[in-house]
Amino acid sequence: MMDIVFNGGKAEGVVSVPASKSYTHRAIMMAALSQGKCVVRKPLDSFDTRATAEAMRSIGAVIEPFEDGLSVGTERIHAPDRTIDVLNSGTTMRLMTGIAALFGSETTITGDESIRRRPMGPLLDALEGCGVSCTSNDGKAPITIRGPVKSDRISIDGSMSSQFVSSMLMMAPLVGRPMDVVIEGKQVSRPYIDVTISVMDRFGVKVGRTDEGYHVEPQRYVPCDYTVPADFSSAAFPLVAGGLSGKVSVEGLDLQDPQGDKAILDILRNAGCEVSVEDGKVTCSCTGRLSATDVDLSDIPDLFPIVAVLLSTAEGTSRLYGAPQLRFKESDRIASVEKMLSTLGADIRGTDDGCEINGVKRLHGGRIEHGGDHRLMMAASIASLVADGPVSMEDDGCWNVSYPGFVEQMRSIGMRC
């Protein structure tokens, strides 16, 4: 396979980023669970969301693409009629595990090599505590689940992944009895749970908050037309490009959206970038060398690679902290980001829950290994804007997981590739 090479440039222009992957997964699933006819407009069309659509087809949904989105129709959901291959989508695997627990027959869920390394233990433990039979490869895929849920109380460890909690919440209204979802340990990535609850509300399901976690009464998902919002996680890449080298605007963002990754705007401001917002268009401009800043990643772990790039050339020492769950993403993202930026000339040290960065004036470029991690690959490409040499990597198209058209869009705003 050939390499793709980024040679920096000056980032200037206006872009519209893809729809949110997190919302797209949830909207497709809840549309299928509504057992009616729905339209999901402006979804992200990526490898991961296609895996979710295939998983929903296995329980009886008829999903057809049209020009502006997907039509989703289901007469009756049933136990999956095949082994579910989630490819590289951890979100599909974790959310589908809860849905599979609704049925009294066995469901097997597996995925690619990366998926088979990702921990599922806390989610399987929670289901087993509710009477669900679970087998796995030492807490990892392939996993086999046989329901139904026999309890009215689910205790789930929230310290590893918000997706475990979202999986239980999405399943809970269909169990047939009132359910309490009890969160044990520190809850990480809470805004992603807010996203889940927001989409559930749009599909007619109400979730109550309690001192221990959440309460869900028996309910049905209600068919509706749903429009997927733009993705702040993706918007971070062109905005950081503007903050490092030029001026870039991103259109179509909703600052009232519960997405946690809109915190990128405050991070950019704190580092010294000029950030303005007008009618859903966010503009980030370079003001010179940035200043170091500390960033709590506990609610925004997906921003780690691009924020590390942003601060790699900032004056002073930055500390990124609060996200030990980064060790269990598509790659060990702490180790991967440390290796990537060290290769390019940054002064970075990984920690248990993030990293410390002593900003250098410029990176020197080099060849990095992204290991198929889409966020690592995209962050490395943006790093070329502050590098004196080219940044090269394997050209495997992994950006299509969350940002189809990323390379072409970066070219359109002045990056040389």
CA of residue 122 relative to chain centroid, distance: 19
Distance in angstroms (rounded) separating the CA atoms of residues 306 and 45: 22
Distance in angstroms (rounded) separating the CA atoms of residues 396 and 301: 24
Distance in angstroms (rounded) separating the CA atoms of residues 182 and 367: 46
Which tokens belong to 323? 């996200």
Output the CA torsion sign for 369, 371, 372, 378. Answer: negative
Whether 246 and 285 have beta carbons less than 8 Å apart is answered as yes
Give me the catalytic one of 302, 353, 388, 395.
302
Output the CA torsion sign for 289, 292, 293, 299. Answer: positive
Q: Which helix (H) or strand (E) covers residue 94, if one does? A: helix 90-100
**Strand, helix or coil at 224?**
coil
Which residues share a beta bridge with 4? 393
Q: Which residue has the tokens 């060398």?
A: 289
Distance in angstroms (rounded) separating the CA atoms of residues 263 and 205: 27
Helices marked H in 155-314 — which ranges? 162-171, 190-202, 232-245, 264-271, 304-311
Which tokens belong to 402? 């969350």
Output the CA torsion sign for 43, 48, 52, 54. Answer: positive
Q: How far is CA 365 from CA 242, 333, 342, 386, in A?
A: 19, 20, 10, 9
Please confirm, yes or no, whether 296 is among the known catalytic residues: no
Q: Which residue has the tokens 């559930």?
A: 200
Distance in angstroms (rounded) separating the CA atoms of residues 15 and 18: 10
Q: Which residue has the tokens 């007008």?
A: 278
Catalytically active residues are 302
